Amino acid sequence: MIKHTYERIGETLYEETLENGLRVYVFPKPDFGKCYAFFATRYGGMDTRFRLNGQWLDTPMGIAHYLEHKMFDTPDGGNALMKLSAAGASPNAFTSSAITGYHFECTEGFWENLRTLLEFVSVPYFTEESVQKEQGIIAQEIRMMEDNPGRQSYRMLLESLYQNHPIRNSVAGSVESIAQITAETLYHCHEAFYTPSNMVLCVAGNVDPEQVCDLAREILPKEAKAPIPRDHGQDEPREVNLRENSKVMPVAAPLFQIGVKGQPAQDGPGCLRQKLLGDLTCEALMGSSSSLYSKLYTQGLINSGFYCGFMDYPGCCFLVAGGESKDPAAVRDAILAEVERIGREGLDQGLFDRMKKAAYGSFVRGLNSFENLCVEQAQAYFEGQDPWTFPEIYDTMTRQDAEDFIRTWFCPQQMTLTVIRPVEDPA
């Protein structure tokens, strides 16, 4: 195995690529009693069109999330979640737009639980009856999401930002789309994407890295497969799909999202630098320590729930800011006015330095979480990044970089405002 030592953050990481193409990462933690394992595939809500065995398949929106639900079924009629729980593990799973991950944490029985994880994720078992039964469960989950103003606000944001990219798709799908899912389609998706060469296994704890690899070799398929071609739609224009969008829901105050559409970097290291710079710039421009935040808060245009940050997925990236406001348009206009001021006067050097130290410290604190270590490593692997080089990246960031970022990104044609308005709001 390859050993990586990151002296500046005090982390050691072992890496191995198995013969079947599976990438394995292990963070040895000999002084801890708990262990965490994360087994993920580069397959998410945006991957609805792909080519399998020479044919292009168009699958229903929400199928990656549906497949995650069904993967816990086992041929003996049992459920892998219950098996892991009975063995002392705390298991769960999630599906995002880009990946699906299965994980557990435990203080004992790690090897038994890791065996269970690898077995049930690699061997699918569906019947038409069980697939149809799941439709009612997921349909109820979808309806709950549709009734959630926060989720609807974010969904509107993505649909307003993008015209073609499947990031627009709801990860859970719609009640209508999941009704089209069959056991055969689920098997096709598993065959395409749940193959070791499209997956990664990350472990943190007091474990032997070689033993992790040996168990994966024993259980998982032996052959490596070529990557599956995917179609993420036509090229996106620079401008947003909609400059403004709103709907009415039962909320106490207007709930808004401001999105800024950007261009993704061309390679993995560039994407990581862009992500770190994007988050840092957001904080310097409108984070809780910025003069703009103080102004908006004093005027009663935002409250302590206001947030901002950088988001990226394969083929797309954007900034987002949001919260509650009596006048969302005024918040947007104030941000643009601050962008113009920074264009004339620049960022305050002291503020920028403080924000960079705070961002660095936040990243370091995240190293205390085994879950964060493993999930960050898995996502970074799929994106061709090394996340633990962040100290060196922060070293290279200057105030000029942040000012250039603001000037490039914050153009009116690249911004959208979405609002969930109260029922009685005349606007």
* CB atoms near residue 303 (< 10 Å): 13
pLDDT greater at residue 89 or residue 74: 89
pLDDT at 27 exceeding the cut of 90? yes
Q: Could you check whether 2-219 and 244-421 share the same CATH topology?
A: yes
pLDDT at 267 exceeding the cut of 90? no
Average pLDDT over residues 147-166: 95
Average pLDDT over residues 380-408: 95
Distance CA 189, CA 145 (A): 24
pLDDT at 169 exceeding the cut of 80? yes
Domain ranges in the chain? 2-219, 244-421
pLDDT at 388 exceeding the cut of 60? yes
The residues pairing with 320 across neighbouring beta strands, listed in sequence order, are 259, 309
pLDDT at 425 exceeding the cut of 70? no
283-339 tens-digit pLDDT: 999 999 999 999 999 999 999 999 999 999 999 999 999 999 999 999 999 999 999
pLDDT at 78 exceeding the cut of 90? no
- 152-190 in b/e form (b: 16+ CB < 10 A) is bbbbbbbbbbbbebbbbbbbbbeeebbeebebebbebbb
Out of 16, 68, 376, 403, pick the active-site residue: 68
pLDDT at position 207, please?
96
Pick the CATH number of 244-421 from 3.40.50.720, 3.40.630.30, 3.40.50.2000, 3.30.830.10: 3.30.830.10
Contact, 319 vs 311, CB < 8 A?
yes
Cβ burial of 338 (10 Å; 0-12, 13-18, 19+) is buried
CATH code of the domain made up of 2-219: 3.30.830.10
* CB atoms near residue 281 (< 10 Å): 27
Contact, 270 vs 203, CB < 8 A?
no
Give the end-to-end CA distance of the chain in Å, rounded to a whole number. Answer: 61
Residue 173 DSSP label: -
Distance CA 173, CA 48 (A): 11
Contact, 103 vs 93, CB < 8 A?
yes
Contact, 265 vs 315, CB < 8 A?
no
Contact, 198 vs 41, CB < 8 A?
yes
pLDDT at position 130, please?
86
Confidence of residue 80 (pLDDT cuts 50, 70, 90): very high
N residues, the chain: 427
pLDDT at position 203, please?
98
Q: Which two tokens stand for residue 60?
A: 């229903």
CA dihedral 256, 260, 261, 263 (to 10 degrees): -150
184-202 tens-digit pLDDT: 999 999 999 999 999 999 9
pLDDT at 427 exceeding the cut of 60? no
Question: Is 283 tagged catalytic?
Answer: no
β 244-248/415-421 pair status = parallel
Distance CA 300, CA 33 (A): 48
pLDDT at 426 exceeding the cut of 60? no
For the chain, percent of residues with pLDDT exceeding 70:
99
With tokens 């930002």, the residue in question is: 161
Cα distances (angstroms) measured from residue 227 to each of 42, 115, 194, 368: 10, 25, 11, 34
Tell me the backbone φ, ψ of residue 303, rounded to 5 degrees: -125, -170
